[in-house]
Copies of this chain bind each other. A is one copy, B any other.
Amino acid sequence: MALPTRELSDDERLDWLRLARTDSVGPITFRGLIGRFGTARAALEALPEMARRGGRQRGLTPASLADAERETAAVAALGGRMVALCEPDYPEPLAAIEDAPPVLSVLGARDLMSRRSVAIVGARNASGNGRRIAAKLARDLGAAGLTVVSGLARGIDAAAHDGALESGTVAVVAGGIDVVYPRENEGLHRRIAEQGVILAECAFGIQPQARHFPRRNRIISGLSIATIVVEAAPRSGSLITARMANEQGREVFAVPGSPLDPRAQGCNALIRKGAILVQSAEDVLDGLSPMLRTLEPARPAGFETPKTFDETAPTDGAAAQSQVLECLSPTPTPVDEVLRDCQLSAPMVFAILLELELAGRIERHPGNRVTLT
């Protein structure tokens, strides 16, 4: 059951926002719920009973309509709006990833998101040369008609946004759309809100915390046909973005540097692992040419509900749930494996997993895998 792309009514969008803001409802569960119940409203109504069946101790109360209205109004007051995953304004490449945010807060020139985008990310403690390279890549790729996506961090991110300010840039922030972080990027944040796009998955007003950054990074890579890394230390956040781009089937580029420069180690390692070495925007355009030759971007899967969630199924009793729980551990287990190991129908397993997740007892991971929490 694939939901067609369509503009939601304001009431429907509020339902989507409530469901997205409800405790234990991650992006993958969100898709499962819409797939199972058809609408966010119906899912909201079914949630408390499902969570109870999943074994949740304290009741699961969906986010309130009042909160959803308040958040929507606050975003609107800044000049922004909420965009749901099924709506035409939602960026197509992002909709194609498995754990796409169900709802985004968006501020600024939303039409920029309909163009093809590339991400430029890198070290916060970048060198002057690294920042110069990032700004020039951004400027040149912007001149070639691409939107430049980054994370509005210090260093490489800021330089990339700055280079693409005229041509069009999208900043994906880790906290709420109104929260300027880091402080020193206040001016840039304001200029991007005026000339480009600021985009957030987190609720309005939320201060970014450590756990938000990797989740934010999947949006940066997910928005983009390619991610370019400019200066990155080993085990840095930029390498997480590169890994996610790779998992999302997007191209990864890296700017090399001297082996004696610690900030080049991450990029050099990426190149050794297969990222394309980049010296200039031309190298990026060369690497992307098969993709760029397609004039009209093919509408990707978009909001296509995974087939596995298509059927509704009642779950009956503790025995089946125990069977599923026995298959799981804190190490990610593919749902396919659970299906193979349980003597239960697929719809039954999916329903039980959904309930367990709403009960906060399991967690979803990309690649259709789950862990016990």
In the complex, residue of chain B having the shortest beta-carbon distance to the beta carbon of A231 = B258
- Which of B260, B277, B278 contacts A133, CB < 8 Å? B260
- Which of B132, B268, B280 contacts A256, CB < 8 Å? B268
Could you say which residues of chain B place their CB within 8 Å of the CB of A259?
A: 133, 255-256, 278-280
In the complex, residue of chain B having the shortest beta-carbon distance to the beta carbon of A283 = B272
Does A265 interact with chain B (Cβ within 8 Å)?
yes
Q: Is the CB of A279 within 8 A of B265?
A: yes
Does A245 interact with chain B (Cβ within 8 Å)?
no
Interface SS majority for chain A: mixed
The A45-93 residues at the B interface (CB cut-off 8 A) are none
In the complex, residue of chain B having the shortest beta-carbon distance to the beta carbon of A280 = B259
Could you say which residues of chain B place their CB within 8 Å of the CB of A256?
A: 256-259, 264, 268, 271, 277
Query: How far does the alpha carbon of A257 sit from the alpha carbon of B283 in the complex, in Å?
Result: 16
In the complex, residue of chain B having the shortest beta-carbon distance to the beta carbon of A258 = B257
Query: How far does the alpha carbon of A261 sit from the alpha carbon of B264 in the complex, in Å?
Result: 14
Does A209 interact with chain B (Cβ within 8 Å)?
no
Query: How far does the alpha carbon of A280 sit from the alpha carbon of B259 in the complex, in Å?
Result: 8
Does A331 interact with chain B (Cβ within 8 Å)?
no
How many copies of this chain? 2
Does A96 interact with chain B (Cβ within 8 Å)?
no
The A238-293 residues at the B interface (CB cut-off 8 A) are 255-261, 264-265, 268, 271-272, 276-280, 283
The A124-174 residues at the B interface (CB cut-off 8 A) are 129, 132-133
Query: How far does the alpha carbon of A127 sit from the alpha carbon of B151 in the complex, in Å?
Result: 35
Query: How far does the alpha carbon of A141 sit from the alpha carbon of B154 in the complex, in Å?
Result: 39
Q: Is the CB of A132 within 8 A of B277?
A: no
Best-surrounded residue of A255, A277, A283 (most CB of chain B within 10 A): A277
Could you say which residues of chain B place their CB within 8 Å of the CB of A268?
A: 256, 277, 279
Could you say which residues of chain B place their CB within 8 Å of the CB of A258?
A: 129, 133, 255-258, 261, 264
In the complex, residue of chain B having the shortest beta-carbon distance to the beta carbon of A276 = B272
Query: How far does the alpha carbon of A265 sit from the alpha carbon of B258 in the complex, in Å?
Result: 12
A130 CB to nearest chain B CB (Å): 8
Could you say which residues of chain B place their CB within 8 Å of the CB of A277?
A: 256, 268, 271-272, 277
Could you say which residues of chain B place their CB within 8 Å of the CB of A283?
A: 272
Query: How far does the alpha carbon of A272 sit from the alpha carbon of B277 in the complex, in Å?
Result: 6
Could you say which residues of chain B place their CB within 8 Å of the CB of A278?
A: 259
A223 CB to nearest chain B CB (Å): 25
Could you say which residues of chain B place their CB within 8 Å of the CB of A132?
A: 260
Query: How far does the alpha carbon of A133 sit from the alpha carbon of B258 in the complex, in Å?
Result: 9
Query: How far does the alpha carbon of A170 sit from the alpha carbon of B279 in the complex, in Å?
Result: 34
- Which of B257, B265, B271 contacts A271, CB < 8 Å? B271
Could you say which residues of chain B place their CB within 8 Å of the CB of A276?
A: 272
Could you say which residues of chain B place their CB within 8 Å of the CB of A280?
A: 259
In the complex, residue of chain B having the shortest beta-carbon distance to the beta carbon of A279 = B259
A260 CB to nearest chain B CB (Å): 5
Query: How far does the alpha carbon of A268 sit from the alpha carbon of B280 in the complex, in Å?
Result: 11
Could you say which residues of chain B place their CB within 8 Å of the CB of A261?
A: 258
In the complex, residue of chain B having the shortest beta-carbon distance to the beta carbon of A130 = B258
New A-B contacts (15) at CB < 8 Å, excluding given A256-B256, A277-B277:
A129-B258, A132-B260, A133-B258, A133-B259, A255-B259, A256-B268, A256-B271, A256-B277, A257-B257, A257-B258, A258-B264, A259-B278, A271-B271, A272-B276, A272-B277
Instruction: Jot down 10 A-B pairs with beta carbons below 8 A, ordered by A.
Output: A129-B260, A133-B258, A133-B260, A255-B259, A256-B258, A256-B259, A256-B268, A256-B277, A257-B257, A259-B279
